[in-house]
Structure 1
Amino acid sequence: MEYKDAAEPLKKAATDPSAENKKLNKSQQLKQVFKEYGAVGVSFHVGISLVSLGIFYLAVSSGVDMSTVLLKLGFSEASLQSRMAAGTSTFVLAYAVHKLFAPVRISITVVSVPFLVRYCRKAGFFKPPAP
């Protein structure tokens, strides 16, 4: 009978940071970025959220039928009906669509902030990390 090392998956997770990120859900990943990169992570996410809300407001106020667009992107009919009621204001509709795209914004933040901080450190804008 062959015995396998029970700690093998733990060793792999400890040495492979991407494996650790795959186990965390999106909000946990975002919290980890905020904890590790502080104000840069928060500022980047708030900035991207404001841009996202502005783009969706502009689209809705321009007359784009957002329910048709979202159905073509693969969102389910049930999730659209629960988020977007008929006769809502432009801002409320834009905000609902903005909230549907939260996983996309979180993913962009989680991927982009480490690269942004690394670039700023190389350029001399930020101090190098403490050892």
Structure 2
Amino acid sequence: MDISALNAAEPLKKTDTDPSAENKKLNKSQQLKQIFKEYGAVGVSFHVGISLVSLGIFYLAVSSGVDMSAVLFRLGFSEASLQSRMAAGTSTFVLAYAVHKLFAPVRISITVVAVPFLVRYCRKVNGTEKATER
């Protein structure tokens, strides 16, 4: 048996069982589903909360007269993408919702990163409280 073939196959085994490598292969919606599956109500509550805050912030920005097309263009969104999603003359809420939807990958990334830390922190605090009660 060829030793170089064994060495070449070894890294494949490590990445197949490495959860971080598996997480990188998933798209954003699959990562979010995995967080919901692993952390349940905490993941869902956090994501819904951050979504409501996001929508509220964008609604305030649009209703305050901020030119969202200019802001999004500066952030790197293409002109064609902006024009197709934000038609002239749309209502404040519809425009805020369209911008909110454009930022879905950001919200999902925040949820995917923050929820495991939040759950770990809550478990640590809960474990500490139980230890002091005894």
Q: Fold match, TM over 0.5?
A: yes
Range that drifts further, 96-105 or 79-88 = 79-88
Name the residue aligned to 1:8.
11
Residue 75 of structure 2 aligns with an amino acid whose one-letter code is L
C-alpha separation between the residues in 1 aligned to 2:23 and 2:92?
36
Between the two proteins, the alignment pairs up a number of residues equal to 124
Match of residue 75, structure 2, among 59, 73, 76: 73
Q: Within 2, Cα distance between the matches of 1:59 and 1:18?
A: 36
Give the CA deviation at 1:120.
0.3
Structure with the larger helix share: 2
CA contact (8 A) 2:15 2:22 kept: no
Q: Deviations over 1:29-50 (max 9, x none)?
A: 0000000000000000000000
Counterpart CA distance in 2 for 1:75 and 1:10 is 39
- Residue 129 of structure 1: aligned partner: none
Question: 52-61 vs 17-26, which deviates more?
Answer: 17-26
| Alignment-derived partner of residue 32 in structure 1 | 34
- The SS at the match of 1:85 is coil
Q: Letter of the aligned partner of 1:9 in structure 2?
A: L
Shift of residue 7 of structure 1?
A: 5.7
Q: Which moved more, 1:1-10 or 1:77-86?
A: 1-10
- Name the amino acid aligned to 2:55: L
Query: 1:18 offset after TM fit, Å?
Result: 1.7
Partner residue in 1 for 2:84: 82
Q: Which residue of 1 aligns with 2:118?
A: 116
Which residue number corresponds to residue 97 of structure 2? Answer: 95
C-alpha separation in 2, matches of 1:22 and 1:31 = 14
TM-score (norm 1): 0.89
1:73-127 deviations in whole A, cap 9, x for unaligned? 00011111111001000000000000000000000000000000000001117xx
- Structure 1's unaligned 5+ residue stretches are 126-131
